[in-house]
Amino acid sequence: MTGHGLVGVPDAGAFLARLTRFDPGAPVRLRGSGTRTALWARLPWDVLVTREVAGRGPDDATVSAAELLAVLTQGGDRLPERRDAHWRWPLPPSAGEAVESVSGAELRRLAAAAAGTLREVASGGLAGGRAIGQRAVRDALLDHVALVVTPAAGEPVEVSQRLVQAISRMGFLGSEAAGEPDTRVRVAGGWVGLSAPYGAAWLQSVRKLPVVPIGARPKG
């Protein structure tokens, strides 16, 4: 039976615990290289998140995040049943560049402001008393451009609230009191990413809509 090869169990466990809180059925992709393994997952709001941990895992394997977390919690070393077909999303290119740095304090402020707005609307509706669905508000907030950075050369880079929420809610910013390093805004091909002290989040800047054959569309 193949082992998972992970040595950084506390780091991997923290990543998997937060991931399964958002999506209990989420798959996690392990990509081992050298003496480390990158864990990849997709959050319910369409953002890819990744964290590198110590230990050489499989070259490329997808398993259930909940099953791998259970193995790690029990101190086991086996790799859960592979579910490679469950991974259906492209990964950003490995080559990319950092275009700006943003403090953790600023990113926490942006994340908290969006969360506060969602709570306010969910409890009291919009100004004027008009009720609105919480899901619609959430999606609008996630699509909001939280910040724009302008590199010395090139076009402005828009960072959506989806990315801010990802690194905040996955714990990638670390402790506010610990004086963690700044987060880097990165671009790679058609992707925009936030590379924080304890992990990174990536989002395709232009989402491709699926093409559905006319004959496959439901009638009516």
183 and 148 together in one domain: yes
Q: Quick: pLDDT tens for 95-148.
A: 889 999 999 999 999 999 887 777 776 665 555 445 456 677 778 888 899 999
Cα separation, 112 vs 4, in Å, equals 36
Per the domain annotation, does 81 fall within a domain?
yes
CATH assignment at residue 35? 3.10.150.10
44 and 80 together in one domain: yes
Q: Domain count of the chain?
A: 2
61 and 119 together in one domain: no
Per the domain annotation, does 211 fall within a domain?
no
Say which residue, 97 or 152, is predicted with more confidence: 97
Q: What is the pLDDT of residue 142?
A: 86
Q: What is the pLDDT of residue 39?
A: 98
Which of 59-68, 148-157, 179-188 has the lowest average pLDDT?
148-157
Q: Quick: pLDDT tens for 167-192.
A: 999 999 998 776 789 999 999 989 99
State the average pLDDT over residues 16-29.
98
Per the domain annotation, does 34 fall within a domain?
yes
Per the domain annotation, does 112 fall within a domain?
yes
Beta pairing class for 97-102 and 61-64 = unpaired
Asked whether the beta carbons of 178 and 140 are under 8 A apart, the reply is: no
Q: What is the pLDDT of residue 198?
A: 96
**Host domain of residue 149:** 97-204
User: Which residue, of 37, 59, 86, is where some domain finishes?
Assistant: 86
Predicted confidence (pLDDT) at residue 219 exceeds the cutoff of 50: no
Q: What is the pLDDT of residue 217?
A: 44
Task: State the pLDDT confidence band at 206, using cuts at 50, 70 and 90.
Answer: low
Q: What is the pLDDT of residue 115?
A: 79
Give the Å distances, CA to CA, from 4 to 37, 50, 119, 147: 10, 17, 40, 38
Task: State the pLDDT confidence band at 215, using cuts at 50, 70 and 90.
Answer: very low
Beta pairing class for 48-54 and 157-160 = unpaired
DSSP string, 117-178: HHHHHHHH-STTS----HHHHHHHHHHSEEEEE--SSS--EEEEHHHHHHHHHTTTT--GGG
In the structure encoding, which two tokens stand for residue 145, read together? 């451009």
User: Which residue, of 31, 65, 86, is where some domain finishes?
Assistant: 86
153 and 195 together in one domain: yes
pTM of the model: 0.86
Per the domain annotation, does 165 fall within a domain?
yes
Q: What is the pLDDT of residue 220?
A: 39
User: Which residue, of 62, 86, 110, is where some domain finishes?
Assistant: 86
Instruction: Work out the mean pLDDT of the chain and round it to a whole number.
Output: 87
Per the domain annotation, does 160 fall within a domain?
yes
82 and 103 together in one domain: no
Predicted confidence (pLDDT) at residue 37 exceeds the cutoff of 70: yes
Say which residue, 127 or 165, is predicted with more confidence: 165
Q: What is the pLDDT of residue 110?
A: 93
Which of 42-46, 127-131, 155-159 has the lowest average pLDDT?
127-131
Q: What is the pLDDT of residue 58?
A: 96
Per the domain annotation, does 218 fall within a domain?
no
